[in-house]
A and B are shown apart, each in its own frame.
Chain A
Amino acid sequence: MIASVDDLHVTLRGNPVLRGVSLSVRPGEILGLVGESGSGKSMLALSLLGLLPPDAHPQVTGTVEVAGVDMVHGSAAAHRAVRRRELGVIFQDPMTSLNPTMRIGRQITEVTRDRAQAVQLLEHVGVADAALRLRVYPHELSGGLRQRVMTAIAVAGRPSLIIADEPTTALDVTVQAQVLKLLRDLRDEYGCSVLFITHDLAVAAQITDRIGVMYAGRLAELGPTRDLLTAPAHPYTAGLLRSRLSLSTPRDRDLPTLQAEAGSRGSGCAYHPRCPLAVDRCAEEQPPLTGSDHQKSCWRDISDMPAGNSAPDPGGHGAAAEGEPVVKLRDIRCDFKVRNGWRRAGTLKALDGVDLDVAPGEAVSIVGESGSGKSTLLRVIAGLIKPTAGTREVTGGTQMVFQDAGSSLTPWLTIGELLRERVLKLGRAEQDDRIEKALTAIGLPITVATARPRQLSGGQRQRVALARATIVPPAVLLCDEPTSALDASLAASVLNLIRKLRGDLGMAVVFVTHDLAVARLMGDRIVVMTGGRVVETGAADDLVSRPQAEYTRTLLAAVPEITS
């Protein structure tokens, strides 16, 4: 075994984050660790590294062994030696995970200071002009190149185990495919093992040999990738697979969701309050991880699992009314002045001649990678950015919902105050009435009105952002990646809510996303953008099944899918 943990419990600031995990990484395998935020997967990685945050006063019981060294008790020097010789790490965000003030060549071979080796490693991870690139700083590279540099750092010490913590989450989907391939190639070449942590089962499906599914600090299920994806043994895994949004999810039904998290977990299985199979025993007794090759931690038999329960979508799909467009953009251009290092200022064409019409009540998805201009376009529609050239006609009001609901809600105002701001012209009684209606419409109890944003979960905050946007129904609701910061099970319910609100209020929706599957589900029509231009527009299903533009095809090919 390269690395193993046995009955590992970790408590940070008094909160249990790992509650009895046993797991071994076999030589040469890629082991996926899949779970939603807070499931403990990153803490498991930090435990293996011996880098649990000391300010959180970690309390650890159980064992963690890497290359035969005890990573819980041994000396700090011994831990450092293991990290230097046996482990390589790739973290999620390559921008913040690289030292911004050190040249990348120095960062790659910081331990050996061997320039030739740095060049060789950079070439190895697919960076062209490696010798020249040694002297650049991280901010001078693109996201994909930065993650390649991070990978070069990880393999520099010829590790026996690479720990990759969400290595592709911050990357565009086409770049993600390249980095996944790189990781697989490096494993083959160096013969090392990889612990691959992700929240996305489909990404794990692309690269892993085995997958461990984590829930609330424990392994729910552990098995060979193909087995686990085709015949999940734990209701949580089955639910995750079912609620995953893919290019073949039915468009005319409500999106399948997992039951929302509710209530206390008590002493039994942590999943039981959300589990469709839960019986009394589940609430009282923690099921152990059993089985030989394909293990699960559940008292019940998965074959009792009820079939999918998604109702037909009651929303007004395809209800786009005829009539004058509510949004009419003609030849919109948007230039930004950029200064790049010591060089002269240049011009970035964020939008380069975009035309767009949105009919009343129509839903349009705009899809593109980072830097495609999709968010800029949305801001132009909202009137937040004045275009450099072109005409913009928007009839009726617009409202916007942003990606990070946490930072788009004023932290010191209560939810009630945030909503009231939008209806100040009305009488007090009517204000209260509208707030209550708005909260009911988004499925939150009226008591939320007295809460402040930080007391709510991410999904609840995004719901509040939606309530704020729709308390006075706008003609057009503008959504900027509203679910990309949410876990899969929450994302689906927020998307359902947007669809429902659209039907109820008869508003048009412009939905910006990087995810083609989501774009297809949220739009009657999809607009594909790259480099500030529209490359293709089409009805949602047509565009996905019969893409015309080369770029759309590339994008489609890079979408990770689970094939059974």
Chain B
Amino acid sequence: MIGFLTRRTGAAIIVLLVLTGAVFVLQQYSPGDPVKAYLGANASPAAVAAERVSLHLDDPLLSRYWHYLTQAIRGDLGISFRTHRPVVTDLGAFLPATVELVVVAFLFALLLGALFATIRTLAGTLVRGILLVGATAPPFLLALGGIILFYAHLGWLPATGRGGDGFLLAHSLVTGDWAVFGAGLQHVVLPAFVLAVAPAVSIGRILRASLQQTLGADHVRTARAKGLTEAAVFGRHVLRNSIGPGLSMAGLQLGFMFAGVVVVEQIFSWPGIGNYLAESIPAADYPAIAGVTVVLGAVYIVTNTVVDMIQALADPRIAL
């Protein structure tokens, strides 16, 4: 176990080094002058040159990268060229919104995926069909369709924003502020659903296939031969043995969802890191881009590590 965590931490460090390194190399070779963005379009050439020096932008790439890394270890990811605030402060402001959106979307995806995998009635076929159609549509189309239907026509749900800031849902849930919680939920439903549909289908298909495989397994025949009811057979002998592939897929999809928020947050004007990233890229705001990259990479690694640990708990044959 300790060996496993050590190996994963080592891998995480390497992955983060590669990711930030890639951002630095991109910065070197991409057009657009971040200093102009930083100082404004009207800055004099002399001021720009001076600022380049003070931002260390004229230093060799490796030395700048080294500077970035040593600062990062102290928790300093640099200053955003665009917002003029520390990137860490920006992330602190935008990350909670994204976390809440993705967590809700992930719960949706698990729920819909489980429904997709297990319901065997006509209604189940219908749900599967709707999900499949939703998953094949591009997210922006789904988002626009949802806004037109639920906001413009029915007026059930708001189209943009999230009705507060910070960890809005978590905070109101803990403090029992149901009015705020309800409003937050209303805001989050549509974007979360758009984000969840494609992952739900991926999770559901894998889970469905592995459930069907397990149902035909020899040990399930043994369980039936004991005279257990179908519910007991399913609950005790099928579920735990089928969950592994579904879990792997869920872990992967959670990572994809954090990356997928860029489009969805833009459409719903959701104040999260997806929106932040979308605004940073055209401004050549590399400190901000690198900061978001580090966060996404870390989320990816942590979720997959957690998934592997849950799998080892579910299946005693897996040794970490």
Q: Answer yes or no: do A and B interact.
A: yes
CB <8 Å contact, A99 and B219: yes
Q: Is the CB of B227 within 8 A of A91?
A: no
CB-based contact B228/A100 at 8 Å: no
Contact with A along B224-240 (1 / 0, CB 8 A): 11111100000011001
Chain B interface residue count, Cβ-Cβ cutoff 8 angstroms: 24
- Point out the residues of chain B lying under 8 angstroms from A51, CB to CB: 221, 224-225
Cβ contact of A101, chosen from B221, B226, B240, cutoff 8 A = B240
CB-CB under 8 A from A83, the residues of chain B are: 224-227
Complex contacts, B225 vs chain A, CB 8 Å? 49, 51, 83, 87, 89
A153 touches B222 (CB 8 A): yes
Contact of A102 with B by CB under 8 A: yes
Chain A: residues with Cβ within 8 Å of the partner, total of 31
Proximity bits, A72-113, B CB within 8 Å = 1, else 0: 000000001111110101010100111111100000001100
Verify B319–A97 contact, CB threshold 8 A: no
Q: Which of B14-22, B97-105, B140-148, B309-317 contacts A (4 or more CB under 8 A)?
A: B309-317
Assess whether A341 is interfacial by the CB under 8 Å rule: yes
Assess whether A139 is in contact with B316, with CB atoms less than 8 Å apart. yes
A553 contacts across to B, CB distance below 8 A: none
- Minimum CB–CB distance from B274 to chain A (whole Å) comes to 38
Is B179 interfacial (CB-CB < 8 Å)? no
Assuming the A-B contacts A91-B218, A153-B222, are A80 and B227 also in contact, with contact meaning beta carbons closer than 8 angstroms in the complex?
yes
Contact A84 B240 (CB under 8 A): no
Q: Which residue of B lies closest to A88 (CB)?
A: B225
Given contacts A93-B218, A97-B219, contact A80 B229 (CB under 8 A): yes
> B266 contacts the other chain (Cβ, under 8 Å)?
no
* Nearest CB of A to B225, in Å: 4
B217 contacts partner chain A, Cβ-Cβ < 8 Å: yes
Q: What residues of B have a CB within 8 angstroms of the CB of A402 in the complex?
A: none
A residues in contact with B262, CB < 8 Å: none
- Whether a CB of chain B sits under 8 angstroms from the CB of A339 is yes
* Residue of A84, A93, A97, A139 ringed by the most chain B CB atoms within 10 A: A97
> In the complex, which residues of chain B have a beta carbon less than 8 angstroms from the beta carbon of A102?
236-237, 240
Indicate if the CB atoms of B241 and A99 lie closer than 8 Å.
Answer: yes
Complex Cα distance A93/B217, Å?
A: 11
Residues of B within 8 A of A551 (CB): none
Nearest B residue (CB) for A140: B316
The answer to whether B218 and A84 touch across the interface, beta carbons within 8 angstroms, is no
A82 to B222 CA separation, bound complex (whole angstroms): 14
In the complex, whether A137 has a CB less than 8 A from a CB of chain B is yes
Residues in A with CB closer than 8 Å to B228 are: 80, 84, 110-111
Q: Tell me which residues across on chain B come within 8 A of A96, comparing CB atoms.
A: 217-219
* Given known A-B contacts A82-B227, A84-B227, A111-B227, A97 and B1 have beta carbons under 8 A apart: no
| B93 within 8 A of partner (CB) | no
B223 within 8 A of A: yes
From known contacts A137-B317, A139-B316, infer whether A99 and B227 are also in contact, taking CB-CB under 8 Å: no
Q: How would residues 173 to 188 of chain B score, 1 for a CB under 8 Å from any chain A CB and 0 otherwise?
A: 0000000000000000
Given A100-B316, A342-B1, decide whether A91 and B222 contact each other with a Cβ distance below 8 A: yes
Q: How far is the CB of A80 from chain B (nearest CB, A)?
A: 4
Is the CB–CB distance between A111 and B226 below 8 Å?
A: yes
Closest A residue, CB atoms, query B313: A101
B1 — nearest CB in chain A belongs to which residue? A342
B-facing residues in A113-155 (Cβ within 8 Å): 137, 139, 150, 153
Would you give the 0/1 interface string for B266-309, flagging 1 where the beta carbon is closer than 8 Å to chain A?
A: 00000000000000000000000000000000000000000000
Which B residues are CB-close (under 8 A) to A342? 1, 319-320
Please, what's the 1-or-0 string for B194-226, where 1 marks a CB less than 8 Å from any CB in chain A?
000000000000000000000011110111111
Residues of A within 8 A of B320 (CB): 342
Residue ID in chain A nearest B316 by CB atoms = A137
Smallest CB separation, A55 vs chain B (Å): 8
Residue of B nearest to A49 (CB): B225
In the assembled complex, the Cα of A150 lies from the Cα of B240 at a distance in Å of 20
Is A101 within 8 A of B314, CB to CB?
yes
Quick check: B226 and A110 within 8 Å, CB to CB? yes
CB distance B226 to A84 under 8 Å? yes
Question: When the two chains form their complex, are residues A85 and B222 in contact, meaning their CB atoms are under 8 A apart?
Answer: no
- Interface residue from B217, B240, B319 paired with A341 (Cβ < 8 Å): B319
A101 to B133, CA, bound (A): 36
Q: Mark A332-354, 1 if CB is under 8 A from B, else 0.
A: 00000001111000000000000
Min C-beta distance of A53 to chain B, whole Å:
8
Q: Are A97 and B218 in contact (CB under 8 A)?
A: yes
A55 to B236, alpha carbons, bound, how many Å? 22
| Interchain nearest-CB distance for B17 vs A (Å) | 29
Q: Which residues of A contact B316 (CB under 8 A)?
A: 100-101, 137, 139, 341
Q: How far is the CA of A343 from the CA of B216 in the complex (A)?
A: 32
When each residue 306-350 of chain A gets 1 if its CB lies under 8 Å from chain B and 0 otherwise, what string results?
Answer: 000000000000000000000000000000000111100000000
Q: Are A85 and B227 in contact (CB under 8 A)?
A: yes
**Cβ–Cβ contact B317 & A81, under 8 A:** no
Return 23 A-B CB contacts under 8 Å, by A number: A49-B224, A51-B221, A51-B224, A81-B227, A83-B226, A84-B228, A87-B227, A89-B225, A91-B221, A93-B218, A99-B237, A99-B241, A100-B241, A100-B315, A100-B316, A101-B240, A101-B241, A110-B223, A137-B316, A139-B316, A150-B222, A157-B226, A342-B320
Residues on B lying within 8 angstroms of A by beta carbon are 1, 216-219, 221-229, 236-237, 240-241, 314-317, 319-320
A residues with a Cβ closer than 8 A to B are 49, 51, 55, 80-85, 87, 89, 91, 93, 96-102, 110-111, 137, 139, 150, 153, 157, 339-342
Top 8 A-B pairs, shortest CB-CB distance: A84-B227, A83-B227, A96-B218, A89-B225, A97-B218, A80-B227, A99-B219, A137-B316
Known: A100-B317, A101-B317, A341-B316. 16 other contacts (CB 8 A): A49-B225, A51-B225, A80-B227, A83-B227, A84-B228, A89-B222, A97-B218, A97-B219, A97-B221, A98-B222, A100-B316, A101-B241, A101-B316, A111-B226, A137-B316, A150-B222
